[in-house]
Amino acid sequence: MRPFEYARAQSVAEAVGRPGKFLAGGTTLMDLMKLDVERPAHLTDITPLRENGELSQIVEDGGGVKIGALASMSQTAEHPLIAERYPALSQALLAGASQQIRNMASMGGNVMQRTRCPYFRDLAFKECNKRDPGSGCGAIGGHHRKMAILGGSDACIATHASDASVALVAYGAALTLRGPDGERRVKLEDFNLLPGETPHIEHDLREGELIVALTLPAPIAADGVYLKVRDRESYEFALSSCAAVLDVQEGKVNAAHVTLGGVGTRPWRSPEAEAALVGQPATRETFEAAARAALQHAHPLAQNAFKVPLTARVIVRALMQAAGQIDEAGNPTTGANA
């Protein structure tokens, strides 16, 4: 690992505005610094701020909840406010990484985690527009089984890696960013940028800005589901996942939030699926129509074409589960209406 100028922040005010990178859990940054993909000249260690309640607490916030940016993934997953009111977020957090990483990684860092694209992570590959703008994309003509089928461009098809962000977007989460010029709020959905021609610019984050909190509005429904499909049962990134929050009244979908993971270049909110659900009967036919709508603009390549039918099934199953028609194992629940 290359050396850097190290600063240990004792307050948020001391951290905000500093150049380089902020170090929290380090589970992405340390890894990428060892790989020489990240080369910060300045590193500001914000782990001492975990002692500061504001940054690590999870508290009621109006009708919703505020999560301090330094709250760990495991702390957040197990917190009663999250486990009871935002179950899909709790499920997504527990489906991600390993227990050790969940203990270390912060919620603010989770939304900043970088892609697992092997062309990005390995300097032996010369082509990566995200790492080295203008160098090309190794994945498009190379190995792309795990790459995105939604939101890609000719410059980049790298998949966004976070499970938690998929559930956070489904719940309408916003980030509170504190910078030298004050504080602003950005919806997580807008914070992650599409790659377009500039895949190296991943976030709406300005120099010196620090994520201080994540806020969740009151959920549209008490139940929520995060369904994740992967090559291994645990400790593996998603091939496809779906966060579904459904408000069903008298057999009809009153409101729906559907977000996909493992298939998009950012946590993939699907307004098309949501539009296909709202006002319709909560039946398998409706859910299948929503899945078709979500995937109508998918652009698979040869090796990741399997993600289209796989994701359709993941969406239908997540929606049936969110509607209370099947259980976690996929078995019909008693009194199911479809």
Q: Please state the closest distance from residue 230 (CB atom) to other proteins, in A.
A: 12
Site stretch for other proteins (CB under 8 A), options 33-41, 106-114, 129-137, 286-294: 33-41
Q: Is 101 left (phi over 0), alpha (psi -120 to 50) or beta?
A: alpha
Q: Please state the closest distance from residue 19 (CB atom) to other proteins, in A.
A: 11
Q: Please state the closest distance from residue 27 (CB atom) to other proteins, in A.
A: 5
Residue numbers 148-187 binding other proteins by CB under 8 A: none
Cα gap 318→102, rounded to integer Å: 24
Q: Please state the closest distance from residue 137 (CB atom) to other proteins, in A.
A: 24
Cα gap 144→301, rounded to integer Å: 8
Q: For residues 102 and 269, which CB has a smaller minimum distance to other proteins in the complex?
A: 102
Cα gap 20→252, rounded to integer Å: 50
Torsion, CA 179, CA 182, CA 185, CA 189, rounded to 10? -30
Q: For residues 109 and 172, which CB has a smaller minimum distance to other proteins in the complex?
A: 109
Q: Is 230 in the site for other proteins (CB under 8 A)?
A: no
Q: Is 305 in the site for other proteins (CB under 8 A)?
A: no
Q: Which residue has the tokens 């527009």?
A: 129
Q: Show the binding pattern over residues 55-84: x = contacts other proteins (CB under 8 A), - = does not.
A: -------------------x----------
Cα gap 101→228, rounded to integer Å: 18
DSSP-based three-state secondary structure for 212: strand
Cα gap 184→258, rounded to integer Å: 26
Q: Please state the closest distance from residue 180 (CB atom) to other proteins, in A.
A: 18
Q: Is 47 in the site for other proteins (CB under 8 A)?
A: yes
Bridge partner residues of 165 (DSSP): none
Tokens linked to 257: 């939030």
**Binding region for other proteins (CB under 8 A):** 1-8, 23, 26-27, 30-31, 33-35, 43, 45, 47-48, 74, 94, 97-101, 103-104, 233-235
